Amino acid sequence: MKYPEPLDVTVYPRQYGIATFMRLPHITHLKELDVAILGIPFDTSLGYRVGTRMGPREIRACSASVRLYNSALKVNPFKKHRIADYGDLLVDPYSIEKTYELIESGIDKLMENNVIPVSVGGDHGITYPILKSIAKKHGPVALVVIDAHPDTHDTQFGHKLTHAGPWRRAIEQKALIPHKVIEIGIRGTLFSEEDLAYGEKQGFRVWTAEEFMSENIEKVKAEIHQIVGDTKCYFSLDIDGLDLSTAPGTGAPEIGGLSNLHALQVIRSLVGLNLVGADIVEVSPPLDTGNVTSLLASHLLYEMICVI
Amino acid sequence: MKYPEPLDVTVYPRQYGIATFMRLPHITHLKELDVAILGIPFDTSLGYRVGTRMGPREIRACSASVRLYNSALKVNPFKKHRIADYGDLLVDPYSIEKTYELIESGIDKLMENNVIPVSVGGDHGITYPILKSIAKKHGPVALVVIDAHPDTHDTQFGHKLTHAGPWRRAIEQKALIPHKVIEIGIRGTLFSEEDLAYGEKQGFRVWTAEEFMSENIEKVKAEIHQIVGDTKCYFSLDIDGLDLSTAPGTGAPEIGGLSNLHALQVIRSLVGLNLVGADIVEVSPPLDTGNVTSLLASHLLYEMICVI
Amino acid sequence: MKYPEPLDVTVYPRQYGIATFMRLPHITHLKELDVAILGIPFDTSLGYRVGTRMGPREIRACSASVRLYNSALKVNPFKKHRIADYGDLLVDPYSIEKTYELIESGIDKLMENNVIPVSVGGDHGITYPILKSIAKKHGPVALVVIDAHPDTHDTQFGHKLTHAGPWRRAIEQKALIPHKVIEIGIRGTLFSEEDLAYGEKQGFRVWTAEEFMSENIEKVKAEIHQIVGDTKCYFSLDIDGLDLSTAPGTGAPEIGGLSNLHALQVIRSLVGLNLVGADIVEVSPPLDTGNVTSLLASHLLYEMICVI
Amino acid sequence: MKYPEPLDVTVYPRQYGIATFMRLPHITHLKELDVAILGIPFDTSLGYRVGTRMGPREIRACSASVRLYNSALKVNPFKKHRIADYGDLLVDPYSIEKTYELIESGIDKLMENNVIPVSVGGDHGITYPILKSIAKKHGPVALVVIDAHPDTHDTQFGHKLTHAGPWRRAIEQKALIPHKVIEIGIRGTLFSEEDLAYGEKQGFRVWTAEEFMSENIEKVKAEIHQIVGDTKCYFSLDIDGLDLSTAPGTGAPEIGGLSNLHALQVIRSLVGLNLVGADIVEVSPPLDTGNVTSLLASHLLYEMICVI
Amino acid sequence: MKYPEPLDVTVYPRQYGIATFMRLPHITHLKELDVAILGIPFDTSLGYRVGTRMGPREIRACSASVRLYNSALKVNPFKKHRIADYGDLLVDPYSIEKTYELIESGIDKLMENNVIPVSVGGDHGITYPILKSIAKKHGPVALVVIDAHPDTHDTQFGHKLTHAGPWRRAIEQKALIPHKVIEIGIRGTLFSEEDLAYGEKQGFRVWTAEEFMSENIEKVKAEIHQIVGDTKCYFSLDIDGLDLSTAPGTGAPEIGGLSNLHALQVIRSLVGLNLVGADIVEVSPPLDTGNVTSLLASHLLYEMICVI
Amino acid sequence: MKYPEPLDVTVYPRQYGIATFMRLPHITHLKELDVAILGIPFDTSLGYRVGTRMGPREIRACSASVRLYNSALKVNPFKKHRIADYGDLLVDPYSIEKTYELIESGIDKLMENNVIPVSVGGDHGITYPILKSIAKKHGPVALVVIDAHPDTHDTQFGHKLTHAGPWRRAIEQKALIPHKVIEIGIRGTLFSEEDLAYGEKQGFRVWTAEEFMSENIEKVKAEIHQIVGDTKCYFSLDIDGLDLSTAPGTGAPEIGGLSNLHALQVIRSLVGLNLVGADIVEVSPPLDTGNVTSLLASHLLYEMICVI
């Protein structure tokens, strides 16, 4: 069993080489992998300020900045798992339905090979077909999500498959265990008071941004572990869970959100959970300024890999 | 019969007021209008670098810079026609089909009231439902279009309704007179040699960018007028007909294109044609730099109004 | 009594429509309103890095992102008050004196109709004529202000009417109750030690940024309520009260300032005060990057409306 | 007589040193100079999109890129005249009247010492007090100006001293010889047909942009020399005379304007005229993108110095 | 013999996939190639405004926009030659000498396998070691270069190996045939009149930008072919040969340069020459605005491939 | 003894004047100074994302925003010490070795005149020759450094003199007292676990960013004073010690770093130490967005001057 290695920075300066995630090898043979980092360049399920289809490419470019050893977690993930850039899943920019099928069948292949997907969106709608595929293998899973919005809308303009309702769809598909859904960072302006009602009824544990930020991280961590326990768990990071000031490159930024440090703390608190997949979504390079959001995302992506 | 007036710049400085097109009144009562400037904030029929859904709003903001008297054409269009900002047509960001129906029925209302539509996109796909509506009233029309791309693809990823094929769809619908389709600015890289074949077979008159730029504008003008004659004619300006250096804020920019002056010359050469509608499309503010493309578009929009 | 409604986001996607504040109707008939959101596109009373005259237009555009239900305060302000976009007050870009008269008489009309002004600047100088008008109706008022600078300069280059001295002018005009002036966020570099002396002598309550940030918000809130009591109160938010890192688009940014969350907390702490007006000033779109400051301002503007 | 020397680029790399114009010495002793490059950081006489007050500082920074030998004119101007960075003239950002007096008296000192002013604005209004001072020494002069706008408005919002009327004011003051005023680049949208009438009546020679661009430069040059002859002449370059695509960083950009090459050609055609001063105005760094307009201005400034 | 194929755009939308040049396969086995597109991410031989080390990565990303069929030359180069993305040559960011050796030995491998290098810089210094390697195989070659600067400096700060002197070094190494060196676009400000003397003495054919632009392209083409004849020829495109307005993202932009169309015309005029290599250099993404220069470069790169 | 004075802001508006640091006089006569602010525009010892050579020029421009009185420390430093802009130290952009010698000899002159250097980089490598020079006068010194990275690499690509190893080199040269080296802000991804080992072995006191941020500043301050005591001390601020969200304009930004307030608190905690020099490094204007990092740096530079 051989570990794919990122380009050695003592030999190949970081400006060198084709931009894969963290300058890892591009490997599509799933037998060689434990964890696949993959892009899903799709944002047609976004209703307003688009652009996240450009996310995977820009995050790949920015991830050349990431070094390999995590000083906080004291781990080099690339020596622990066989990890590579699996490339992108195929999408159809003109069809949400067809793309969600393509995503689901794309993830199915990973499931068959016991490879953990770490996906880079794309809009938040893509998590629904990922969860659908995961549930076929693992049954319904727990979910920890960082997000400004509840994402439990039933429909938008009459459409059932959008970036605004992945959790509702996934619950309907028995892909999630409702009372093991944990939302962190919810805040700000909502369409109406109904937005939160669905989650409450389903038994979600919701930390609004303000509650989370006034809480001790150790307490949050303990509660996450208590809720999730040994259940298989998925982690989803919508970049708008962070504050507008740190993640401007996204379609629906909100103020009063998590700082970069908060995001790091949440991710690191997942150590010990049984993670079966993760994603980072809603990074929109055309709306970004100075690439800060893509740079941030590439660092958070690395941290997510460290806790798997 | 009263002419709507843009805000008087000797009283209201240009930073003053809600951003309608050229600070015209916002009028939705069609009986009061000859020409309606309207936005169509839709880009789901775009396959790659999106963002033109933000076009109408930004072009409105930038159009506060435009003054009222056209020194080249010696005309103040707002004293010649009743012109106003009609607002936007309704769109469904998740459905091309439904939006094209909404556009068609939106334009139908203008047709019923003999109001000429001057539309601001949005991607180039929107011209197809506009032409469909126009043809219901006027029969098939002539077309003058500035564009880098032939826009006659049959399908993209199996979809018939995209930004890449409006002319083919319009011809199938008998909305255009094929041998009175005039394309100016075609150039650059194409998907294959087939891209130009359709137009040739249909009898399009195509000036590639390089041919156009080596030609005397008076000769071009004469030939346009000879081809179109008294036939009712539609004018469509895809901003990527202009060079990347002057119109960077668009999804598929190409080099070797028209200059701003060339675009002015083409528009001004339309004086005397029987124009039944016009549009400017593919301006993508998130891909722009320093708003130059939206500023450019707002000036070209004004010029288009001057030749109606 | 009918409540003006922002465009319904379930019907009209946010890219749709002419950019009024929060896509509210544009209403100039004051009998129909309780609260008027209005722009004051003026920055000639700014001495150094200008551009805030473009503030109202950009904040209108960005405010299309704001949703209607405030999950923290559990309120939809548009169902509580009759609120609309009143448009802009007239200004003369070449004359501070004349513009301040125009502002004062503009606000006078609101006062006559018992309409609460929520103004969007423009530089901080505009608050002086607003307060002058308010005091004619209500007598001298209390003031809560978020700002990096004391804004109590007597003159700049010999001029009495500038962005640097609104509170001094207002006190001279008996428009403010000096010992009910509360400044939050003062910090950084000042012209001299005299800058703070005026406020101290007048009895201002000043929380420097650092004091404020080391304080519990509940204690701050209690003290604000204790100082202001039932007195009519005006709220003014200079965006440079926030940190450079979150509000770069302003003329005189300072480091060590409030976070977005802090600003939210201050605004929300005003619930229960008798607010007779509010403003947000010093947002300069040309100095901004990626529109973050205008986006931030549009969210803070919404929050301000929620506490009236 | 010693020639001030720019920093020697073979010793001091261009990133080295405090940013004076072209890294020339900063000399305020007028006896040591033939030509003074000076900044006038003032834009309060601008009505709409401000920011040119930041012009001198940014153009200084960008001018470190300019090399010393002009290959087209075969001249190193710094070996021909004693040229230095004279610093900025004092301005009062809150008062047009006072600033114009400060400018006039500032230029008076140069006139007393027979130093030719090459000024960097600021808005176009500053040329009026410069011309007033020049005329006190030289009598009325000829004028060659590159500009998109006629700049002959009588008043704006009732004000006589603005960026829109310097030539009218200068003619009233007998600072210009009306029939020796040559305008190049006029175009685009004007407030009304009256805009051009003043110049026509006064006998201006106007090349609209389109006329100029269809003309042979040698013919233009001949006519300029024929009109101006031996008369003392001032040259003023409003950056908006150039096209929006090449000079986006300005308050009132227009399309269909001169290219960079055209501007070079006009400047170089001035060789042999008796130039008594020159300026470059309306460069607004906050409205610029990637500093292109300031870089352009720094090169044009250099060319202007070469033809004195 | 199999032709590597770029990703099929009818199946894989352009946002899909890891960013190689034109989404070609990444092939390092030289036996499979006729032409290798390769990056040289090095700019330590640049003296002032750096950043071109980021060129290859950004140009790869932008080249996803390029389509496959060249409508002007009526060719799909990927069906004519075996072309792929060879990756980057190794560089040492801290040593010019060592990097030039790495480049030379890197190109040597291509020479051994009869593969034509098309290199993407990096600063212009990299062309020297490329030519050295080419000359070892082919003997001294002819050179056509688009550039604003003569690039024949002997030393900079005492260093012989810099971006400012590749042609002088190459001539000393007998890698170039001096009287078959053709420079197009030279202009602007030079360090001194000596800058042009070297080339004159060596017998270079120099078209200054202004001469070139006033010439008929057919005449230029004829003279190029007459000078080069059947001699093996290298083509080098320094992006600053183009005008500042179209290529702002470069370290030493100059005004009065070639347009995008001019560059296309020069490249296309090379059809029929015996090209043994080509490069595009001096594109600096950190100095760019809206990626326009990288987009431009990716299109010019494609055109260069079409004429090999 | 006369104190150089920054331009008086009540007379000279901040847009006025050539951009020296804080608009101080440019003084090169060392007898007249206690503290010299100087630029070192050099980044060739940086391996990846360059651009800090442009730091001094941009920070000078931005520092016009800084006012003179520090309200937190209650001091106007320009009335306490004789401080001026000393200009830049000479550098050779093509040679690290030669430039480090130039820096060392440049600082030597200050040492001879008992002038304290406050340097503005440039990359972090420049601190090594500064320390070397300081140690010749003062012997080995203590060091307080804010940085994301340990900066104790032995070599990069075989080179001993780079931005990644100044402390190791300085310790080898006996310029630092190892157990009096205090690092604050270390975090994030490292090349390997070895990165921290060197400092541990040498006895550095390291506060990782997370440790620092969870600590009370008063405790940190006390420990700093206890470690340093009366020993002469150098302070170095690598801007990447701050979080990516507040300091994006740097080559190797990391998330989870200090806020602007944290940086202020650390600097202010140095009051009372015996500072013999300070610097601020790694600000890269071409990588910045909206100049926020340069504005931030200019404020931090001012604060550093206040604690000397």
pLDDT digit string (tens) for chain C, length 308 residues: 699 999 998 899 999 999 999 999 999 999 999 999 999 999 999 999 999 999 999 999 999 999 889 989 999 999 999 999 999 999 999 999 999 999 999 999 999 999 999 999 999 999 999 999 999 999 999 999 999 999 999 999 999 999 999 999 999 999 999 999 999 999 977 777 788 899 999 999 999 999 999 999 999 999 999 999 999 999 999 999 999 999 999 999 999 999 999 999 999 999 999 999 999 999 999 999 999 999 999 999 999 999 99
Return the structure tokens found at E25: 């396969």
Using CA coordinates, name the residue in chain E closest to D262: E256
Do D227 and D180 form a contact (C-beta atoms < 8 A)?
Answer: yes
- Mean pLDDT per block of 10 residues along chain B (308 residues) reads 90 96 97 98 96 98 94 93 98 97 98 98 98 98 97 93 95 98 90 86 96 95 98 98 98 97 98 98 97 98 97
Cβ contact C41–B16 (<8 Å): yes
Show Cβ contacts of residue A19 under 8 Å, excluding neighbours closer than 6 positions: A57, A60, A61, A63, A64, E18, E19, E57, E60, E61
- Length of chain D equals 308
HEC string for chain B: CCCCCCCCCCCCCCCCCCCCHHHCCECCCHHHCCEEEEECCCCCCCCCCCCHHHHHHHHHHHHHHCCCEECCCCECHHHCCCEEEEEECCCCCCCHHHHHHHHHHHHHHHHHCCCEEEEECCCHHHHHHHHHHHHHHHCCEEEEEECCCCCCCCCECCECCCCCCHHHHHHHCCCEEEEEEEEEEECCEECCCHHHHHHHHHCCEEEEHHHHHCCCHHHHHHHHHHHHCCCEEEEEEEHHHECCCCCCCCCCCCCCCECHHHHHHHHHCCCCCEEEEEEEECCCHHHCCCCHHHHHHHHHHHHHHHCC
CA distance F77 to F21: 14
Using CA coordinates, name the residue in chain F closest to C47: F13
Q: How far apart are the first and last CA of chain B?
A: 18
Q: Which of E261, E289, E296, E300 to mutate to test the interface with B (most CBs of B within 10 A)?
A: E261
pLDDT (0 to 100) of residue B192: 78
Instruction: Give the tens place of pLDDT for each residue, A32-72.
Output: 999 999 999 999 999 999 999 999 999 999 999 998 899 89
Residue C137 vs residues C133, C228, C236: alpha-carbon distances, Å? 7, 18, 18
What does R_g of chain C's alpha carbons equal in angstroms? 18
Average pLDDT, chain A: 96
Instruction: Give the tens place of pLDDT for each residue, C233-256.
Output: 999 999 999 999 999 999 999 999
- Residue (of E247, E164, E180, E171) closest to E209 by Cα position: E247
Residue A87 vs residues A53, A60, A119, C181, E15: alpha-carbon distances, Å? 14, 10, 10, 59, 12
Question: To which residue do tokens 């169509």 refer?
Answer: B40
Do F255 and A294 form a contact (C-beta atoms < 8 A)?
Answer: no
The CA angle A28-A32-A36, to the nearest 5 degrees, is: 55
How many H helices and E strands in chain C? 9, 10
ipTM for the complex shown:
0.96
For strands D189-190 and D205-208, give the pairing. Answer: unpaired
Q: Domain residue spans in chain A?
A: 21-307
CA distance C146 to C282: 12
- DSSP state, F26? B
Burial of C82: CB neighbours in 10 Å, binned 0-12, 13-18, 19+? middle
CA distance F166 to F155: 10
Region class of A201: left (phi > 0), else alpha (psi between -120 and 50), else beta: alpha
pLDDT tens per residue, chain E (308 residues)? 699 999 998 899 999 999 999 999 999 999 999 999 999 999 999 999 999 999 999 999 999 999 889 989 999 999 999 999 999 999 999 999 999 999 999 999 999 999 999 999 999 999 999 999 999 999 999 999 999 999 999 999 999 999 999 999 999 999 999 999 999 999 977 777 788 899 999 999 999 999 999 999 999 999 999 999 999 999 999 999 999 999 999 999 999 999 999 999 999 999 999 999 999 999 999 999 999 999 999 999 999 999 99
Show which subunits contact B, needing at least 3 CB pairs below 8 angstroms.
A, C, D, E
Show Cβ contacts of residue C284 under 8 Å, excluding neighbours closer than 6 positions: C43, C49, C50, C51, C52, C54, C55, C249, C250, C251, C293, D286
CA distance B263 to F124: 51
Show Cβ contacts of residue A260 under 8 Å, excluding neighbours closer than 6 positions: A242, A246, A296, F243, F244, F245, F255, F256, F257
Considering only the beta carbons, identify the residue of F47, F53, F92 that sits closest to E50: F53
Region class of E272: left (phi > 0), else alpha (psi between -120 and 50), else beta: left
CA B246 to chain CA centroid, Å, is 17
- DSSP state, C246? T
Do C245 and F242 form a contact (C-beta atoms < 8 A)?
Answer: no
Residue environment code for A67-96, b if the CB has 16+ CB neighbours within 10 A, otherwise e: bbbbbbeebbbbeebbbbbbbbbbbbbbbb
Return the structure tokens found at E67: 């389509």
CA distance C51 to C41: 9
Considering only the beta carbons, identify the residue of D14, D71, D299 that sits closest to E255: D299
Cβ contact A41–E13 (<8 Å): yes
**What pTM was estimated for this model as a whole?**
0.97
Show Cβ contacts of residue E229 under 8 Å, excluding neighbours closer than 6 positions: none
Cβ contact E18–A61 (<8 Å): no
Using CA coordinates, name the residue in chain A closest to B249: A286
3-state SS, residue F281: strand
Taking 70 as the threshold, does the pLDDT of residue D132 lie above it? Answer: yes
CA distance E62 to F137: 53
Nearest chain F Cα distance for residue D207, angstroms: 35
pLDDT (0 to 100) of residue F195: 82
Burial of A12: CB neighbours in 10 Å, binned 0-12, 13-18, 19+? middle
Residue environment code for D125-157, b if the CB has 16+ CB neighbours within 10 A, otherwise e: bbbbbbbbbbbeebebbbbbbbbbbbbbbeebb
Q: Where are the alpha helices (DSSP H) in chain F?
A: 55-62, 96-112, 127-138, 166-172, 194-202, 209-213, 217-228, 260-268, 292-306
Show Cβ contacts of residue A50 under 8 Å, excluding neighbours closer than 6 positions: A43, A251, A284, B43, B50, B51, B53
- Residue (of D211, D280, D212, D207) closest to D250 by Cα position: D280
Q: How confident is the model at residue A1 (pLDDT cuts 50, 70, 90)?
A: low
Residues of E with CB under 8 A from a CB of D: 47-49, 156-157, 186-193, 195-196, 208-210, 213, 243-245, 248-249, 252-257, 287-290
pLDDT (0 to 100) of residue D1: 67
Contacts of A288 in chain C (CB under 8 A): 290
Using CA coordinates, name the residue in chain E closest to A59: E18
CA A180 to chain CA centroid, Å, is 17
Contacts of E210 in chain D (CB under 8 A): 72, 261
CA distance F204 to F220: 15
CATH for C21-307 is 3.40.800.10
Return the structure tokens found at F128: 């090594």
Considering only the beta carbons, identify the residue of D16, D64, D87 that sits closest to F91: D16
- How many D/F residue pairs have CB atoms within 8 Å? 68
Burial of F301: CB neighbours in 10 Å, binned 0-12, 13-18, 19+? buried
Burial of E79: CB neighbours in 10 Å, binned 0-12, 13-18, 19+? exposed
Beta bridge partners of F143: F181, F234
pLDDT (0 to 100) of residue D73: 93
Q: Where are the alpha helices (DSSP H) in chain D?
A: 55-62, 96-112, 127-138, 166-172, 194-202, 209-213, 217-228, 260-268, 292-306
- Residue (of B229, B187, B191, B221) closest to B206 by Cα position: B187
What does R_g of chain E's alpha carbons equal in angstroms? 18
Residues of C with CB under 8 A from a CB of F: 47-49, 156-157, 186-193, 195-196, 208-210, 213, 243-245, 248-249, 252-257, 287-290
Residues of D with CB under 8 A from a CB of F: 11-13, 15-20, 26, 41, 53-54, 56-58, 60-61, 64, 85, 87-88, 90-93
- Mean pLDDT per block of 10 residues along chain F (308 residues) reads 90 96 97 98 96 98 94 93 98 97 98 98 98 98 97 93 95 98 90 86 96 95 98 98 98 97 98 98 97 98 97
Do D64 and D9 form a contact (C-beta atoms < 8 A)?
Answer: no
CA distance B184 to B217: 12
- Touch between chain F and chain B: 3 or more Cβ pairs under 8 Å: no
Show which subunits contact F, needing at least 3 CB pairs below 8 angstroms.
A, C, D, E
pLDDT (0 to 100) of residue E111: 98
